[in-house]
Structure 1
Amino acid sequence: MNLPITIPSPSGYRGRFAPSPSGPLHFGSLIAALGSFLQAKSQQGKWLVRIDDIDPPREQAGAASLILSSLEAFGLHWDESVVYQSQRHHQYDEVLTWLKQQGAIYPCDCTRKQIMAKGGVYDGTCKSKTYVSSPHALRLNNKHPVPHFYDQLRGNITIAHEFAAEDFIIHRKDGLYAYQLAVVVDDIEQGITEVVRGADLIEPTVRQLTLYQLFNAPTPSYIYLPLASQKVGFKLSKQNHAPALNNQQPLLELVKALQFFNLMVPKEFIALAHTNYSAPSKLKNDINDLLNWAIGQWSLDTLPKDKEIVV
């Protein structure tokens, strides 16, 4: 069986924003969405949106629609049809079958408690077992770990060997696909050339690169944006109950996000951000004007290199 992944040859820049529908977008989400959008548009590229809905226990009913509505309200329009991971299980099934045929995965029934008791890093206990109970997870036999990569914003990144070399889970005990597998398969098939996302995802990148290597697929470049935090170590997130974006004041939120990126927003846009709009068409035009200005000003050289910024 050949690798059941279509590996395209993209002719230009292709970026994406891939939120999980665990709640509405918040300011931290806007940073990731806007940063990926501006990077794509500054490269005259395509910007795609994918809903990473492969973890139903964490998802909130109606959140996917709310996310797309917010993006539209903020003038962040995607260039191709939205992809939903929940509709791609057949693809992940085929890849999992291929991995089994390659002898690249093995079953594991170790619990989180057992792993934590041994220091928190899985030590390959089940690799030599002749029998594992059900339910069980499936782990990648990580023979060729990738411990480092290049971040376009920060330079060379090296991750601890024990993390990079761990046999990580690609299919969970509860029958759900792990993020690492799904995101790599989808980014490959969508021809993503550069991944722009929050700095909280720096460490797992080496696991995704291990899969790219296994699939013999070209790897994207990476840009890790600073996280917006309420206080140090407390990033804005749905889990931390960050307030939802105000879709009624998109210009004001966009100005704040652009200032987060060290962009000197012109005074006229700051003044407009505090305007009570009566005509939706005028607001839409002003948002487009601000975004077009930001695309022209966007440069990695001026972006903050902090991993976290308190807002």
Structure 2
Amino acid sequence: MTAPVFRFAPSPNGELHLGHALSALTNQSMAASSGGRLLLRIEDIDVTRCSPEYETGIFRDLAWLGFGWEEPVRRQSEHFGDYEAALERLKKDELVYPAFMSRGDIRAVIVEHEAKGKSWPRDPDGAPLYPGTDKTLSQRERQRRIDAGVPFAWRLDTTAAVERLGHQLAWREWSSEAMTAAADIAAEPAQWGDVIIARKEIPTSYHLSVVVDDALQGISHVVRGKDLYFATSVQRLLQEALGLPAPSYFHHRLVPGPDGRKLSKSQRDTGLAALRDAGETPETIRAMLGL
């Protein structure tokens, strides 16, 4: 029987914090208990925010925690060709379209809609769904705008992708780290609307690159925080549309900050490097996390 394959996939756009430590150590524990392999992937498609300094910090912090991984490490920025190939397949199957609406355009549509006393649908993260009014543009008009240099992003035609499937999507969710029981969870990609799949300046997105990477690396078990639970619906749709295998999932608890919110790089929550400098040890970090 093939050994399970797990992965920890941080982005080098800030310092690792306790939430990352929990995810890394949970992956490590589950891989060890199941006799599986453990990979490290650097998710650095956002080349404007990611930096070599933060990547070096990731390696340093993980080594200090006692987290071991297989070499070589996959860096997404070195594999844009893989994502472009997947995007081309979606284009060929007419499951994506160039979306030209700016943030201002989107806001204007929503304001006009809500002025009539109607609420605008929002995704699980609270962001308004894309209006999609340019989805019906002719191929000629689309090409005219692209040739004229009008900014655009490739968006998934979620309705078309779901209809093309013809069956209910689901994913396998483990109920605990012990992986003794699992349930099939119904995927609901429609709740996300037409998500961005690629941008002009970056030929991919988180959703597209993560499903391609998981398939190419043979990831069998995706272990990550509950903040990505609902995103699984979009990723399952992309896996089906691209003919990729579906891993099983375990979405672990989140680590709250002092004020109860989820830890965040952008909010400069206490990082592992700062905790180490303050005298904490890998053992006390584990104790803080209840491990």
Q: TM-score, normalised by structure 2?
A: 0.78
**Pairing of 1:99-118 with structure 2 (within 5 A):** 99-116=90-107, 117-118=109-110
Structure 2 counterpart of 1:140, which letter? Answer: L
Tell me, in whole angstroms, the C-alpha distance in 2 between the residues paired with 1:173 and 1:163: 25
Q: Is 1:202 matched up with 2:229?
A: yes
Picking from 64, 70, 77, the partner of 1:86 is: 77
Superposed structure 1 runs of 4+ greater than 6 Å apart? none
**Pairing of 1:288-307 with structure 2 (within 5 A):** none
Picking from 226, 229, 232, the partner of 2:256 is: 229
- Is the 1:16–1:192 contact (alpha carbons within 8 Å) kept by the matching residues of 2? yes
Picking from 260, 269, 289, the partner of 2:289 is: 260
Q: Is 1:181 matched up with 2:197?
A: no
- Is the 1:151–1:222 contact (alpha carbons within 8 Å) kept by the matching residues of 2? yes
- Is the 1:71–1:77 contact (alpha carbons within 8 Å) kept by the matching residues of 2? yes
Tell me, in whole angstroms, the C-alpha distance in 1 between the residues paired with 2:51 and 2:7: 22
Residue 194 of structure 2 is matched in structure 1 by 167
**Pairing of 1:48-87 with structure 2 (within 5 A):** 48-87=39-78
Tell me, in whole angstroms, the C-alpha distance in 2 between the residues paired with 1:88 and 1:78: 20
Same amino acid, percent of matched pairs: 33
Tell me, in whole angstroms, the C-alpha distance in 2 between the residues paired with 1:106 and 1:55: 22
Q: Is 1:13 matched up with 2:4?
A: yes
Q: Is 1:30 matched up with 2:21?
A: yes
What is the CA distance between 1:110 and its match in structure 2? 1.5
Q: 1:33-83, CA deviations, whole angstroms, 9 ceiling, x for partnerless residues?
A: 111111111111100000000012322441011101111121111023100
Residues matched between the structures, number: 252
Alpha-carbon distance change, 176 to 86 in structure 1, aligned in 2, over 3 angstroms? same
What CA RMSD, in Å, does the superposition of the two structures yield over aligned residues?
A: 2.5
Picking from 155, 158, 168, the partner of 1:139 is: 155
Residue 113 of structure 2 is matched in structure 1 by none
Residue 270 of structure 2 is matched in structure 1 by 243
What is the CA distance between 1:105 and its match in structure 2? 1.4
Alpha-carbon distance change, 248 to 233 in structure 1, aligned in 2, over 3 angstroms? closer
Q: Gaps (5+ residues) in structure 2?
A: 111-119, 121-127, 163-167, 177-182
Q: TM-score, normalised by structure 1?
A: 0.73
Tell me, in whole angstroms, the C-alpha distance in 1 between the residues paired with 2:44 and 2:209: 10
Q: Is 1:40 matched up with 2:31?
A: yes
What is the CA distance between 1:182 and its match in structure 2? 0.4
